[in-house]
A and B are shown apart, each in its own frame.
Chain A
């Protein structure tokens, strides 16, 4: 619907840009972020949550999804700044829960559900996958921010 009101030239540019951008969540290099946020799981793309979610998560790292992920204050501030600077934009959609609180899980966002609506509950539960947050089980290039649908598979 919205597309109709776009000036035609802009629509054309957007269409050209889309295939390259739709599936890539590559980031500027950041050694501290990669080391600290990529040790227990792949470093999740900051673009998939808005800044308020990242701020809330970074404010309580010693109780991070049942794990102690605490770090020193200097690194905590540096990583928060990096996450906020690269946080989601318009296409990230709504990342709050029904009460208006920022979601902490990418896997609970509407956009994640929409992108994965064809995956059955049984698939999510397979041993090789364990958790929907285990992006790399299906997206072989998740660690470098590549999530295009042609590179995604569902392991047995």
Chain B
């Protein structure tokens, strides 16, 4: 019984705090001051930007499937929320990985517009 209460409390607490993938699309669009384009997002994700890697090097061109780290070979769970319910539910995690992966792929941070476009593409029905 105690366990059920604890689980219920934990669920309540996490549903009160957790974000949904759509929240990130909204946030990035607002920061960019313009609507997102899934088509631009796909192009951004799948092409390299002067460096060795594109986003697809590790996440594949079909983000509903599992990827593989281009250098270490470690498996990476799918990025598309439809295929992986844990994605885009924690702002600190989302911001951390955009920072790291954009630095590694573009040698700079991604703009709000680029992030909005990627979100739109990841959320688009495939």
How far does the alpha carbon of A129 sit from the alpha carbon of B71 in the complex, in Å?
11
| Cβ contacts under 8 Å, A71 to chain B | 96
Closest to B96 in A: A71
CB proximity to B under 8 Å, residues A103-143: 128-131, 133-134, 136-137
- Asked if A133 contacts B100 (CB within 8 A), the reply is no
How far does the alpha carbon of A137 sit from the alpha carbon of B77 in the complex, in Å?
18
Would you give the 0/1 interface string for A12-45, flagging 1 where the beta carbon is closer than 8 Å to chain B? Answer: 0000000000000000000000000000111000
Question: Residue B72 contacts which of A40, A62, A68, A128 (CB distance < 8 angstroms)?
Answer: A40
- Asked if B99 contacts A70 (CB within 8 A), the reply is yes
Whether a CB of chain B sits under 8 angstroms from the CB of A84 is no
Whether a CB of chain B sits under 8 angstroms from the CB of A67 is yes
Closest to B97 in A: A39
With A67-B104, A68-B104 known to touch, is A40 a contact of B69 (CB < 8 Å)? yes
- Asked if A70 contacts B73 (CB within 8 A), the reply is no
- Asked if B73 contacts A137 (CB within 8 A), the reply is yes
Which of B74, B99, B101, B104 has most chain A Cβ within 10 Å? B74
Whether a CB of chain A sits under 8 angstroms from the CB of B84 is no
- Asked if B100 contacts A68 (CB within 8 A), the reply is yes
Closest to A134 in B: B73
Q: Give me 24 A-to-B residue pairs in the complex whose CB atoms sit less than 8 angstroms apart, sorted by A's number.
A: A40-B71, A40-B72, A40-B74, A41-B69, A41-B72, A41-B74, A42-B74, A62-B103, A66-B71, A66-B104, A67-B71, A67-B100, A68-B100, A68-B101, A68-B103, A69-B100, A71-B96, A128-B73, A130-B71, A130-B72, A130-B73, A131-B71, A131-B73, A133-B72
| Closest beta carbon of chain B to A84's beta carbon, Å | 23
How far does the alpha carbon of A17 sit from the alpha carbon of B74 in the complex, in Å?
33
Known: A40-B69, A40-B72, A128-B73. 11 other contacts (CB 8 A): A40-B74, A41-B69, A41-B72, A65-B71, A67-B100, A67-B104, A68-B101, A130-B73, A133-B72, A134-B73, A134-B74
| Closest beta carbon of chain A to B57's beta carbon, Å | 12
| Closest beta carbon of chain B to A80's beta carbon, Å | 18
CB proximity to B under 8 Å, residues A56-79: 62, 65-71
Closest to A127 in B: B73
How far does the alpha carbon of A131 sit from the alpha carbon of B71 in the complex, in Å?
8
| Cβ contacts under 8 Å, B101 to chain A | 68
| Closest beta carbon of chain B to A79's beta carbon, Å | 14
Closest to A36 in B: B96
How far does the alpha carbon of A137 sit from the alpha carbon of B100 in the complex, in Å?
25
| Closest beta carbon of chain A to B94's beta carbon, Å | 14
